[in-house]
Amino acid sequence: MDTSAARRTILARIRSAQGRHGEPTDAERAAAQEYVERHPAGPRPPLPQTREELVARFRLEAERLATTVAEVESLAETPAEAARYLHALNLPTEVVAWPALADLPFAEAGLHVSLRKPADADLVGITGCFCATAETGSLVLLSSAETPASGALLPATHIAIVPASRIVAAHEDAFALIRAERGELPRAVNFVSGPSRTGDIEQTIVLGAHGPYRVHVIVVRGA
């Protein structure tokens, strides 16, 4: 049973125990939406609002997390920037990428791309994102057949394409955007904040312990 089906089963059991059966009614959905809209937001620090401010803050926070950041003007330029990054570090140009990115000119940039989920042997993964948060320099990824979560978690090198228009101020704004555009959460929502790391052994930070060793973000200013 997948996660979404398991979640539906658990919620159905709770509804049954409460004497409610079947799917939520329109009235129940409206009541839940009204509660979310009127529920007072918690305190938040001052955050950037303009696109330029959001991009600058996102870059600052991402780089603090050991993410490298480059900026290009258009989506069509992202494969060339990915190739530049890989060549600079002598990394392989055989990569896996989200099927959702199929229209990008990877071959013209010299990248050999397989549009699929990564396997154990895949060293480089290229993904997009649902949005990104300026406050923490995090990527927000929603799982689907076209945007598999493993693309950002399994390969040692993760390259993420981030449209500037999809950078929001904080996590609260990210969840508000998910509700506005998707309604229901997908099977998995991942907040990626820099390379994987751990400090379990003698409090020494080690990168790549449970996921990517390096993360490179390409911000697309014109998207």
Residues 30-88 pLDDT 10s: 887 788 778 777 788 888 889 999 999 999 999 999 999 999 999 999 999 999 999 99
Q: pLDDT tens-digit profile of 84-98? A: 999 999 999 999 999
Q: How far apart (Å, rounded) are the C-alpha atoms in residues 69 and 219?
A: 7
pLDDT at 121: 92
The mean pLDDT of 144-168, rounded to a whole number, is: 95
Q: Letter for the amino acid at 166?
A: R
Secondary structure (H, E, C), the chain? CCHHHHHHHHHHHHHHHCCCCCCCCHHHHHHHHHHHHHCCCCCCCCCCCCHHHHHHHHHHHHHHCCCEEEEECCHHHHHHHHHHHHHHCCCCCEEEECHHHCCCCCHHHCCEEEECCCCCCCCEEEECCCEEECCCCEEEEECCCCCCHHHHCCCCEEEEEEEHHHEECCHHHHHHHHHHHCCCCCCCEEEECCCCEECCCCCCCEECCCCCCEEEEEEECCC
Q: What is the pLDDT of residue 208?
A: 56
Strand order in the sheet with 214-220: 68-72, 214-220, 157-163, 124-127, 94-97, 112-115
Greatest CA separation for the chain: 62
pLDDT for the residue numbered 51: 94
Lowest mean pLDDT among 43-47, 61-65, 115-119, 123-127: 43-47
Residue 202 in this model has a pLDDT that exceeds 70: no
Parallel, antiparallel or unpaired: strands 138-142 and 131-133 = antiparallel
**Strand 94-97 relative to strand 124-127: parallel, antiparallel, unpaired?**
parallel
**pLDDT over threshold 80, residue 109:** yes
Least confident of 3-12, 60-69, 111-120, 135-144: 3-12
State the pLDDT at residue 29: 80
pLDDT, greater one: 121 or 36: 121
pLDDT at 117 over 90: yes
Tell whether the model's pLDDT for residue 22 goes beyond 60.
yes
Q: What is the mean pLDDT of residues 115-133?
A: 96
Cα 41 vs. chain centroid, distance in angstroms?
24
Tokens of 197: 């790391």
In this prediction, residue 24 carries a pLDDT of 77
**pLDDT score, position 197:** 67
How far is C-alpha 160 from the chain's CA centre?
8
